[in-house]
Amino acid sequence: MFKKEKKEVDRIDIIFCTDKYLLHLNKKYLNHNYYTDTLTFLLSSSNKSITGEIYISIERIRANAKSLKILPRLELIRVIIHSCLHLCGYLDKPQREFLKMEKIQEAYLQQWGVSRETQIGG
């Protein structure tokens, strides 16, 4: 994915955490008082090579998967791809940017045979 996006990667750390911890980070760094499935922090200062951290709430992954009737590992893959796209510079706000990012995200998911339509038992 990074190669297709013409990005080099130095290091990406993925940290799995609880809803409570991710809410704490969301409040502290983004001033948002709500639960989220992932937060992504680009730590590199140059555009040459990506260094970043991805925080993922396992509780949100499980809850999202249950409501979408998909396997948690499929939801996890979606969230990781979403976070990596943020590291590549894509935004999910405003709505126009969200739609652009979602289209790219779905294309990558389909390459790996994963989509939101991949239901449990289907």
Per residue in 21-78, pLDDT tens? Answer: 999 999 999 999 999 999 999 999 877 799 999 999 999 999 999 998 989 999 999 9
Give the domain CATH number at 44: 3.40.390.30
Please tell me the predicted confidence (pLDDT) of residue 96: 95
117 lies in some domain = no
How many domains is the chain built from? 1
19 lies in some domain = yes
59-69: buried (b, 16+ CB within 10 Å) or exposed (e) per residue?
bbbebbbeebe
Count the neighbouring beta carbons within 10 Å of the beta carbon of residue 84.
Answer: 23
118 lies in some domain = no
Model-level pTM? 0.90
In contact, 84 and 2? CB cutoff 8 Å: yes
3 lies in some domain = no
Mean pLDDT calculated for residue range 88-102: 94
| Host domain of residue 92 | 8-111
122 lies in some domain = no
Mean pLDDT calculated for residue range 10-31: 97
Question: 18, 10, 16, 19: which is closest to 42 by C-alpha?
Answer: 10
120 lies in some domain = no
